[in-house]
């Protein structure tokens, strides 16, 4: 059961939600207090367990048709344990949420509420934002951007032009990444009668939209304080990763999986350079 829970939470993606919160909160406060530790742990494991656990339970039928499920990119847990996974998701997040709501301001709690609402709405029955084209990419991006925004608001940050540009760039990056990730699932999603940005636009237009969003994200970073403009260069590898798939036909959309695997590793390299830029910024401000 523990192994299945670990697989369900997708450890390869833990850093994508914990890092934005921790970096935002630490840069604003300049201190490593217990709230930083608590929030980082929450967005590292419980948040991801809930996000992907709910997804794996309610996507079980369609995941059976998807050849990339059953490993690091999504668990295939027997139906008999679905109720237990959902219960554990609630038990994992609830204690953290109670404490964070107590210590947070009204504005911070509203951001946290939005974050959790997006987490549930993406996969839960009836809501199923993941099956609503374009809303699926917006919601998925919220999963990763909202921890950063929450960290900023919790720390009392002032949203100036530069910070708004960073937030918008991150959101565009999230939308682009979700859209490109949807390309590889076009065939199984259509077979399961699931809607997505990929099934509606098709392979070529979805890849083109992802490339455009990456490009706009990079352009926005040019308008941030130094050394922020250097981060604009980090959009280039993502562009180079998706552009080769512009010529794919829908029937061959599964081949985009190779680009998705590169994307997962690319995030770690990007994270390293972002960390260096943040250290530079903190030492020179």
Q: Give the tokens for residue 14.
A: 């833990």
Angstrom distance (rounded) from CA 116 to CA 50: 9
Residue 134: predicted pLDDT: 95
Question: Does residue 67 carry a pLDDT above 80?
Answer: no
Per the CB < 8 A criterion, the answer to whether 246 and 201 are in contact is no
pLDDT per residue over 80-110, tens digit each?
677 888 899 999 999 999 999 999 999 999 9
User: Which pLDDT band holds residue 55 (cuts at 50, 70, 90)?
Assistant: confident
Question: Does residue 248 carry a pLDDT above 80?
Answer: yes
pLDDT per residue over 165-204, tens digit each?
999 999 999 999 999 999 998 998 888 888 899 999 999 9
The CA distances from residue 84 to 1, 38, 67, 122, 206, in Å, are 10, 25, 25, 20, 36
Question: Does residue 66 carry a pLDDT above 70?
Answer: no
pLDDT higher at 18 or 67: 18
The share of the chain scoring above pLDDT 90, in percent, equals 71
Question: Does residue 285 carry a pLDDT above 80?
Answer: no
Among 3, 122, 148, 142, residue whose Cα is nearest residue 51: 122
pLDDT per residue over 33-43, tens digit each?
999 999 999 99
Per the CB < 8 A criterion, the answer to whether 53 and 153 are in contact is no
Q: Compute and round to an integer the Cα radius of gyration of the chain.
A: 19
Question: Does residue 2 carry a pLDDT above 80?
Answer: no
Question: Does residue 25 carry a pLDDT above 70?
Answer: yes
Average pLDDT of the residues of the chain = 90
* Count of residues in the chain: 285
């Amino acid at each position: 059961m523990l192994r299945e829970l670990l697989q369900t939470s997708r450890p390869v993606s833990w850093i994508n939600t914990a890092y934005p919160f921790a970096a935002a909160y630490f840069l604003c406060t300049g201190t490593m207090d217990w709230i930083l530790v608590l929030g980082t742990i929450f967005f590292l494991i419980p948040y991801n367990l809930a996000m992907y656990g709910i997804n794996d339970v309610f996507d079980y039928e369609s995941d059976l048709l998807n050849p990339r499920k059953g490993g690091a990119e999504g668990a295939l847990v027997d139906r008999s344990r679905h109720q237990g996974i959902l219960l554990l998701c609630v038990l994992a997040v609830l204690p953290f949420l109670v404490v964070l709501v107590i210590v947070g301001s009204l504005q911070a709690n509203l951001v946290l509420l939005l974050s959790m609402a997006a987490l549930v709405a993406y996969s839960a029955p009836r809501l199923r934002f993941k099956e609503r084209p374009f809303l699926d990419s917006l919601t998925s991006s919220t999963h990763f951007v909202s921890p950063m925004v929450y960290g900023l608001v919790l720390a009392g940050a002032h949203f100036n032009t530069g910070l708004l540009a960073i937030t918008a760039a991150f959101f565009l990056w999230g939308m682009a990444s979700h859209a490109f990730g949807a390309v590889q699932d076009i065939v199984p999603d259509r077979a399961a009668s699931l809607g997505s940005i990929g099934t509606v636009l098709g392979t070529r237009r979805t890849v083109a939209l992802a490339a455009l969003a990456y490009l706009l994200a990079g352009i926005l970073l040019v308008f941030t304080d130094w050394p922020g403009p250097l981060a604009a260069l980090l959009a280039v590898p993502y562009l180079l990763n998706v552009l080769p798939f512009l010529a794919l036909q829908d029937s061959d959309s599964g081949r985009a999986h190779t680009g998705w695997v590169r994307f997962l590793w690319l995030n770690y390299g990007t994270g390293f350079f972002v960390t260096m830029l943040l250290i530079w910024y903190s030492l020179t401000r």
